[in-house]
Amino acid sequence: MGKTFFLAIFIEMNEKNSKSLTLFHNSYPLLKMQTLRKQSLVKLSESPKVFEKRNGDSEEYASNVFNNKQLQKFISDKSFRQIQLCIEKGTQIEASLADQIASAMKSWAVSKGVTHYTHWFQPLSGTTAEKHESFFDLDISGDQIEKFDGDQLVQQIPNASSFPSGGIRNTFEARGYTAWDSSSPAFLFDKTLCIPTIFVSYTGEALDYKTPFLKSLQKLDDAATEICQYFDKNISKVTAILGWEQEYFLIDRSLALTRPDLILTGRTLLGHAPSKGQELNDHYFGSIPSRVSDFLSELERECSLVGIPLKTKHNEAAPSQYEIAPVFENANLAVDHNTLLMDLMNKVAYKHNFQVLFHEKPFDKINGSGKHTNWSLNTNSGINLLSPGKTPMSNLQFLSFFINTLAGVLNHKDLIKASTVSASNDLRIGVNEAPSSDLSIFIGQYLLGVLDDLENVSKGKLSPEEKTDLKLNVIGKIPEILLDNTDRNRTSPIAFTGNKFEFRTVGSKSNCSKLITVLNAIVTEQLIGFKIAVDKLIESKKMKKDDAIFNVLRETIFSIKPELSKKEKRIDHANQVATPKILHSYITTKSMDLFKNLEILSERELMARYQVDLEAYISNIQIESRTLGDMARNHIIPTAIRYQNLLITNIQGLKEIYGTSYKKLASEQLIILEQISDHIAGINEGVTLMINARKRANAILDFHKRAIQYADTVIPFLSDIRYQCDKLELTVEDNLWPLAKYREMFFVR
């Protein structure tokens, strides 16, 4: 904290008697962090205000969403049908229809007291972005009008220069375009109409997560529908389904504000583990603390208004850790709802004087947070293709999708990894309860057995007896098997859980469309290959459809068997997942071909994404390293010296009273005094060496090499310096310590 920048924080009770914080930047003497920490604790012990709890009001659900029900009220049936057709087919909505929708949206929004609209998008920075425009405009005669037409609905031109582009955006052309995603409904956030959009550069390249995601959904729909046609001619659309589970920590905001590391990096870079952590397993599924429950009630209400179908909430394993999950939805809407939920959580937490931590590993030595991503495929006839059916034929359909998904994922393991790694997720993967960094798929013993049986099917045409046996005894039995088969491996990185695949390596703060775009692409590629192989057998070998399918499935199982039966390697320690190395899988020929052939991402776009992720990695470590250096030198060393001065006063006093025999009486004090000096020296030297390591890394022009240099030479200092600071935390008088301690953040609420 600089000398001229004085931060004083006053905790005051507002008229509603809720706790609120006021920040002042002023010239009063610095209110010392340790005073702040003590004040926060005192305030915390005051009885929390009880917020008005409301149960889900069915009238209220999605009342802030401009959905089909609303649209229908404003436009003719004919226009409505035309619009639905465009949305279903993913074709362009013509200008006159867009005008009608815009006018309906505006009337609806204005009737709810809304004054502004924004295109709401998901740039590669990993947050959501918005640029608010007022409906207010002037007509030619200078009179005030409210204006919002099709043009404004369909496109906005924000300046793209400050968003990550990975080199795509030319310096002379800063414009970017946002374009309406008509498949996700507009909604109200505060007094603003938010219109979900994609975000592309002037030259048409994707600058966001949504653009390739929507393309991948369309490609998957096309490929999966073709496979469904083998089994059911009525299936004309396949939709990817997503159900996420959002883990997070919730801690008191006034305590969080004493910690520059939490505020700047989202995690604690220092902090000794408390005497009690999660050993007693007394938090998991325990009763939700009342202050948290108040927060959740208000959050549920906010979510209900914008149509986020929250369903479950519970305490997670670590102290102060929780999870919230909705009913699954179509993947595009589910991703929008997850990003919106994170914004809403921040907003509601602020009102309740909480700080939400979405970071994957905010605290050392206890569990981190993930975003389990559950994926399945639904047909327009309402069938989940990853759920076994009642007849052998529907089970053959199930097996076709199940086996091809397995094959796609195993064939592109590295790409799946690349879509989930980050500097922060590296701290979680492979540690404690988190999934291992070695990607394996858990499908359970029974399904493995089914695959064994299928692998033994004879080559070529099947005899009638063999086919009957297969249908009756192998695939005919699958539903029973799955119902009985409840064994679930909780920490496997990917698991088939009866009717969906669950991906557990996704980080809690990441946008899960990153993984699903990759998953959709690899499954699409696999399904296209499957269809070509089956059709070839039908045409050239004159095989029956089911014989051909059995044969191709057998071959597929044969090719993935070695990978599938591999035992998961558990590597239980941090930083085994080196993000910079794994990210390279994005730009291998295999990956480039996959995305290019499916027209989901061009080589240039992939290169850009690779570069954006590398830059984010470097910046995150750089910020953590700077923050730790600041804290070590500006907070920890001065605090240690202050405590040393107390000890020195004590030792001098003993000397005055006892003369030469003071040494015996002050022997322990002298030892502590020296230990503190050793730690101070260690910390100070560590910070100097870390700064030098950063300088050397920053001089490397190649991003990949620079990121690896950061991983290898800067990261080790983060734990070395921390170790020494944490030792001091245990030595220095509690009253002097400036940062909220782990035990306070975990257990004081």
Does position 372 interact with Mg ion (CB under 5 A)? The reply is yes
Q: Which stretch binds ligand ADP (CB under 6 A): 67-75, 229-237, 339-347, 493-501?
A: 493-501
Residue 54: CB minimum distance to ligand ADP, A: 23
Is the Cβ of residue 37 or residue 372 nearer to ligand ADP in the bound state? Answer: 372
How far apart are alpha carbons 438 and 413 in whole angstroms?
Answer: 9
Residues 6+ apart with CB under 8 A from 546: 393, 396, 467
Is the Cβ of residue 505 or residue 724 nearer to ligand ADP in the bound state? Answer: 505
* Beta pairing, strands 441-442 & 494-496: parallel
Residue 512: CB minimum distance to Mg ion, A: 13
Residue nearest to ligand ADP (CB): 243
# residues contacting ligand ADP (CB under 6 A): 16
Name which of 171, 133, 125, 173 is nearest 149 in CA terms.
Answer: 133
Does position 328 interact with ligand ADP (CB under 6 A)? The reply is yes
Does position 241 interact with ligand ADP (CB under 6 A)? The reply is yes
Residue 489: CB minimum distance to ligand ADP, A: 12
Is the Cβ of residue 37 or residue 372 nearer to Mg ion in the bound state? Answer: 372
Burial class, 204, CB count within 10 angstroms (exposed 0-12 / middle 13-18 / buried 19+): exposed
Q: By CB under 6 A, name the one of 267, 500, 509, 706 that touches ligand ADP.
A: 500
**327 interacts with, out of Mg ion, ligand ADP, none, CB within 5 to 8 A per kind:** ligand ADP
Radius of gyration, alpha carbons of the chain:
29
How far apart are alpha carbons 75 and 518 in whole angstroms?
Answer: 38
Residue nearest to Mg ion (CB): 372
Contact by Cβ (8 Å): 247, 617:
no
Does position 499 interact with ligand ADP (CB under 6 A)? The reply is yes
Q: Which H or E element spans position 357?
A: strand 354-357
**165 interacts with, out of Mg ion, ligand ADP, none, CB within 5 to 8 A per kind:** none
| Contacts of ligand ADP in 366-385 (CB under 6 A) | 372, 374-376, 384
How far apart are alpha carbons 385 and 354 in whole angstroms?
Answer: 42
Q: Which stretch binds Mg ion (CB under 5 A): 312-320, 365-373, 610-618, 695-703?
A: 365-373
How far apart are alpha carbons 742 and 730 in whole angstroms?
Answer: 12
Q: Where are the alpha helices (DSSP H) in 53-169?
A: 68-74, 77-89, 95-111, 150-154
Q: Which stretch binds ligand ADP (CB under 6 A): 62-70, 321-329, 537-545, 600-608?
A: 321-329
Q: Which stretch binds ligand ADP (CB under 6 A): 89-97, 356-364, 496-504, 617-625?
A: 496-504
Q: Which stretch binds ligand ADP (CB under 6 A): 320-328, 343-351, 685-693, 697-705?
A: 320-328
Q: Which stretch binds ligand ADP (CB under 6 A): 243-251, 348-356, 451-459, 636-644?
A: 243-251
Does position 671 interact with ligand ADP (CB under 6 A)? The reply is no
Burial 674-688 (b: 16+ CB within 10 A, else e): eebeebbebbeebbe
Contact by Cβ (8 Å): 749, 617:
no
Does position 206 interact with ligand ADP (CB under 6 A)? The reply is no
What does the longest C-alpha to C-alpha distance in the chain come to? 107
Q: Which stretch binds ligand ADP (CB under 6 A): 147-155, 494-502, 577-585, 702-710?
A: 494-502
Cα dihedral: 236, 237, 238, 239 (round 10)? -170
Give the pair of three-digit tokens for residue 743: 């035990």
- Other CB atoms closer than 10 Å to residue 155's CB: what's the count? 14
Does position 325 interact with ligand ADP (CB under 6 A)? The reply is yes
Alpha carbon separation from 319 to 162, 297, 316, 342, 483 (Å, rounded): 38, 20, 8, 20, 34
Burial class, 476, CB count within 10 angstroms (exposed 0-12 / middle 13-18 / buried 19+): middle
Is the Cβ of residue 153 or residue 228 nearer to ligand ADP in the bound state? Answer: 228
Does position 504 interact with ligand ADP (CB under 6 A)? The reply is no
Does position 208 interact with ligand ADP (CB under 6 A)? The reply is no
Site residues, Mg ion (CB under 5 A): 372
Site residues, ligand ADP (CB under 6 A): 241, 243-245, 325-328, 372, 374-376, 384, 497, 499-500
